[in-house]
Every structure is written in structure tokens, then in C-alpha cells.
Amino acid sequence: MAGSKFVPPPTTLLNTWANWIVGIGEKDQYTGSWLSHAIDSLYRVLIGVTIAAACGVTLGVTIGWFRLAAKLIDPVVQILRPIPITAWVPLAVVFFGIRNGSAFFLIALGAFFPIVVNTAAGVQRTPLLLVRAARMPGIWPYMLLPRVVLPAFAGLRIGIGYHL
């Protein structure tokens, strides 16, 4: 059979996967290494998305709530946003090395821009009727943001979905 030279039979594939994932079969450098690598990757994604969420929601709310911040910060965000994540890799390696720091930075950067843009848009598009309704009983102005505006948007949900 000519095709077997290029494509292994399914049994070989299954045996290799079993060896790689749970360590069944011949012992080599990759035996049973899948779970530890998957946990390491999950750790990097969780840290990166947490950093992106903290910074992105804060900046997005600032851009969406304050007009001056929108005029000053939003153009910078819109200029940096289209740059592909792969273009940031050399910068990440220079500043953070090839360890976890650069992975955290790149994952955070990938989730940061969708979170900022969607949070700012969500805050800006909060229905005025909700804000007026909250002001009627005399809510303090500093309570408008956490009680009325923040529950009205989905920026963080969209940013997290971008990576998970």
C-alpha cells in the first residue's frame, strides 16, 4: 500500500497519542507530558487574561465615561489595536525574555484591545433612560458607574471569548 509510507495507520496514531497524553507504551522524552504542558498553558492564559481584564476594563470605563480621556487615550488605542500580536513578539522577547513574562504580555495584549474597545463602547452606549432613572431617587453620582453603567455592557465577556 503506497499511502502507508506517508500516513501512519490509525493504530499507530492512537498508540502515539496514548503515550503522549497518559504515558502508555514506550518511554521517551514526550511520554506523559501532555497534561503538564496543558496546565502550564492554562496558567499562562489565565494570568494573561486577568491582566488584560484588569487593565482593559479600567481603561475602557475611563474612555467611555470621561470625554477628555476619550479624546486623549482612544486615538492611541485605535492606532495600536490593528498591530498583529505576532509583531509584538520581538519586543516581548527583548523586554521579558523567553520565559512566562513574554507569554503573559502577548496573551494580555491579545485580549486587551477587544476588552478596551467593547467596554468603552458599552459604557458610552448605556441607555440614558437607565442613568436618568437611577438619578431620580437621588443615587450618588459616584454610584452610577458600578450600579448602572457596568452591568449594562459585555466588553469583558467578548474579550475573554477572543482567547478561550
pLDDT digits (tens, 9 = 90+) for 2-28: 556 788 888 888 888 888 887 777 777
- Split at pLDDT 50, 70, 90, the class of 146 is low
HEC per residue, 81-126 = CCCCHHHHHHHHHHHHCCCHHHHHHHHHHHHHHHHHHHHHHHHHCC
Q: Which domains does the chain have, with CATH numbers?
A: 41-161 (1.10.3720.10)
The helix/strand/coil state of 159 is: helix
* Distance from C-alpha of 147 to C-alpha of 61, rounded to nearest angstrom: 13
pLDDT at 86: 93
Q: Is the pLDDT of residue 98 over 80?
A: yes
- Amino acid 152: pLDDT: 59
Higher pLDDT, 69 or 160: 69
**Which of 150, 59, 67 minimizes the C-alpha distance to 112?**
59
Q: What is the pLDDT of residues 33-80, one digit of tens each?
A: 788 889 999 999 999 999 999 999 899 989 988 899 999 999 999 999
Cα gap 50→133, rounded to integer Å: 33
